[in-house]
């Protein structure tokens, strides 16, 4: 009777794929099952942000006003009092249908889906350097990064840009030769990144270096040239350098600015491991001695990746403020290589590998404790004990008539 019941279920259109998924799960190693459950747990916590009002500064300052203007005017135009509206707006265009259907919640659902897709391609990128279990663990670590977590359900375009760029990294680093058709695919992904956020233009040298090292200068010129051509045809002029950087140079002087940013570059492992606003993982500091010990092997095997990361991070530290979200793809690749070099250092020592895995699990736990704290802070609103106005006033950032007040009409 049971077998007949199962056979009846398998006759349903969706039953066979569902059966295949559960069968694959049951056949997995226990560690992979635990990591997948952990991934689902983290995803659920991140998804809680969908239920909360948008409080992201840039989201309320220009992303949402641009999307709202497109929905009302039914055209893409420069929005009064929104200087960023003359910059590339592919992200806002992608937000538009979700905003029309579901408002801000619709955009939050879309960005959550984009984040899940980003984690899938991050996992694919991990698989180029790590065994499967380590790939899952590293992806889970990246999924708990503070910036990934809060942007997973916020109307920011950084996750969209990162998705394009991580996909491009997987595409380029998994191939030894590109046909012209594949070069066009690479152009589309790089152009999509450029059209999503203007700051992407500053990272063109990093992509050029990667392409040149991985292939040759002709491929590099073709892909980068076509991408820039598409950008400047659609957006003849826009601001590349952030006003914050310009103001800082004027206020402090070029020499002070250069020395400060160079120092920032040199202490990046410390910054990314401990600095409150830029914190990602202790793996960056932990991996430093292993990188030094294995430097010859790394330069021999991973020269394209290392040069890409070096140029990408060097570019990143000159952008003020130095926000992790401006170089997610470079930092994701850096995280993966940091894990890879440590794992490579203990090829046969299972005990040391297990200790390192515990370090990563501890890092994931710490990240989630911080995330749980954010959810606990939002509980009064989620339980109906706090109004929307009371909730969002906690995030007004002390700016009179700032983005929150303007968007929500608070006086």
Residue pair 308/215 in contact (Cβ under 8 Å)? The answer is: no
Model pLDDT, residue 400? 47
Among 40-49, 130-139, 386-395, the range scoring the smallest mean pLDDT is 386-395
- Average pLDDT of 260-271? 83
Residue 80 belongs to some domain of the structure: yes
Confidence of residue 265 (pLDDT cuts 50, 70, 90): confident
Q: Token pair of 342, please? A: 């440590």
Q: What is the DSSP string of 292-332?
A: HHTHHHHHHHSHHHHHHHHHHHHHHTTSSS--GGGGHHHHH
Give dist(CA 269, CA 132) in Å, integer: 26
Residue 43 belongs to some domain of the structure: yes
138 and 26 in a single domain? The answer is: yes
Residue 1 sits in the same domain as residue 135:
yes
Same domain, 14 and 149: yes
Q: Taking residues 155-179, report their average pLDDT.
A: 93
What are 182-211's pLDDT values in tens digits? 888 999 999 999 999 888 988 999 999 999
Tokens of 369: 């404790």
Count the neighbouring beta carbons within 10 Å of the beta carbon of residue 44.
9
Which pLDDT does position 227 carry in this prediction?
A: 92
Please tell me whether residues 122 and 147 are part of one structural domain. yes
Same domain, 83 and 186: no
CB burial readout 384-393, b (16+ within 10 A) else e: eeeeeeebbe
- Report which DSSP code applies to 214: H
* Domain count across the chain: 2
Q: How far apart are CA 345 and CA 286, in angstroms?
A: 13
Q: pLDDT digits over 330-343, tens only? A: 999 999 999 999 99
**What is the average per-residue pLDDT within 87-98?**
93
What is the model's pLDDT at position 45?
Answer: 94
The reply to whether 12 and 110 lie within a common domain is yes
Percentage of the chain beyond pLDDT 90 is 52
In a domain, 63, yes or no: yes
**pTM for this prediction:** 0.89
pLDDT for 15 equals 45
Q: Is there a domain that residue 242 lies in?
A: no
Q: Are residues 81 and 11 in the same domain?
A: yes
Residue among 105, 102, 97 nearest 67 (CA)? 97
Q: Is 397 helix (H, G, I), strand (E, B) or coil?
A: coil
Residue 356 in domain: no
| pLDDT (mean) for 313-320 | 82
Distance between first and last Cα of the chain: 68
270-298: per-residue pLDDT in tens?
Answer: 888 876 565 678 899 999 999 999 999 99
Domain shared by 189 and 93, yes or no = no
Please tell me whether the peptide bond between 321 and the residue prior to it is cis, using omega within 30 degrees of 0.
yes
The residue behind tokens 């290392």 is 306
Asked if 290 and 283 touch (Cβ cutoff 8 Å), the reply is: no
Residue 245's pLDDT band, with cuts at 50, 70 and 90, is: low
Does 170 share its domain with 183?
A: no
Outline where DSSP puts E strands in 152-301.
none
**Residues 55 and 112 reside in one and the same domain:** yes
Residues 111 and 77 in one domain: yes
d(CA 237, CA 244): 19
With a pLDDT cut of 70, the percent of the chain lying above it is: 85
Most confident of 263-267, 385-389, 398-402: 385-389
Instruction: Kindly state whether residue 47 falls inside one of the protein's structural domains.
Output: yes
For residue 315, being part of any structural domain is answered with no
Categorize the per-residue pLDDT at 407 as very low, low, confident or very high, splitting at 50, 70 and 90: confident
Regarding predicted confidence, which is higher, 390 or 47?
47
Q: Is the pLDDT of residue 398 over 60?
A: no
Neighbours of 55 (CB within 10 A): 21
Region 6-25 average pLDDT? 51
Residue 5 has pLDDT above 70, yes or no: no
301 inside domain: no
Residue with tokens 């070069």: 183
Which residue matches tokens 């002709």? 218
Residues 30, 120, single domain; the answer is yes
Residue predicted with more confidence, 261 or 238: 261
The pLDDT score that the predictor gives to residue 210 is 93
Say which range, 47-61, 116-130, 267-281, 314-328, has the weakest mean pLDDT: 267-281
Helix 15-27 with 2-10: angle, nearest 10 deg: 110
Would you say residue 10 has pLDDT above 70?
no
* Domain that includes residue 402, residue range: 1-174+381-411
Nearest residue to 73 via CA among 104, 100, 109: 100
Q: Has residue 9 got a pLDDT over 50?
A: no
């Amino acid at each position: 009777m049971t077998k007949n019941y199962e056979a009846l279920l398998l006759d349903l259109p969706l039953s066979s794929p569902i059966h295949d998924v559960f069968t694959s799960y049951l056949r997995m190693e226990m560690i992979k099952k635990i990591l997948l459950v952990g991934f689902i747990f983290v995803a659920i916590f991140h998804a809680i942000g969908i239920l909360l009002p948008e409080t992201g500064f840039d989201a309320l300052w220009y992303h949402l006003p641009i999307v709202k203007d497109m929905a009302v005017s039914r055209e893409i135009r420069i929005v009064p009092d929104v200087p960023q509206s003359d910059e590339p707006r592919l992200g806002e265009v992608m937000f538009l249908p979700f905003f029309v259907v579901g408002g801000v919640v619709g955009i939050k659902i879309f960005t959550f889906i984009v984040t899940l897709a980003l984690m899938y391609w991050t996992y694919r990128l991990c698989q180029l350097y790590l065994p499967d279990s380590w790939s899952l663990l590293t992806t889970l670590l990246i999924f708990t990064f503070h910036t990934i977590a809060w942007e997973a359900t916020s109307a920011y375009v950084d996750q969209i840009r990162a998705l394009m760029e991580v996909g491009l990294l997987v595409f380029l680093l998994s191939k030894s030769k590109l046909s012209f058709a594949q070069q066009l695919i690479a152009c589309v992904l790089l152009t999509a990144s450029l059209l999503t956020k203007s700051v992407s233009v500053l990272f063109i040298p990093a992509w050029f270096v990667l392409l040149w090292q991985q292939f040759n200068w002709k491929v590099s010129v073709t892909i980068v040239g076509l991408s820039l051509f598409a950008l400047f045809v659609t957006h003849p002029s826009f601001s590349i350098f952030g006003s914050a950087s310009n103001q800082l140079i004027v206020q402090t002087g070029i020499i002070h600015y250069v020395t400060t940013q160079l120092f920032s570059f040199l202490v990046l492992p410390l910054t990314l491991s401990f600095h409150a606003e830029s914190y990602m993982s202790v793996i960056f500091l932990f991996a430093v001695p292993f990188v030094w010990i294995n430097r010859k092997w790394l330069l021999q095997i991973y020269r394209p990746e290392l040069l890409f990361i070096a140029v990408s991070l060097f570019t990143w530290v000159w952008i003020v403020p130095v926000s992790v979200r401006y170089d997610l793809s470079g930092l994701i690749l850096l995280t993966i290589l940091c894990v890879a070099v440590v794992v490579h250092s203990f090829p046969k020592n299972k005990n040391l590998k297990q200790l390192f895995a515990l370090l990563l699990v501890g890092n994931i736990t710490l990240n989630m404790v911080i995330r749980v704290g954010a959810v606990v802070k939002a509980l009064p609103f989620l339980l109906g004990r706090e109004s929307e106005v009371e909730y969002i006033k906690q995030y007004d950032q002390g700016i009179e008539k700032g983005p929150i007040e303007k968007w929500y009409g608070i006086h």
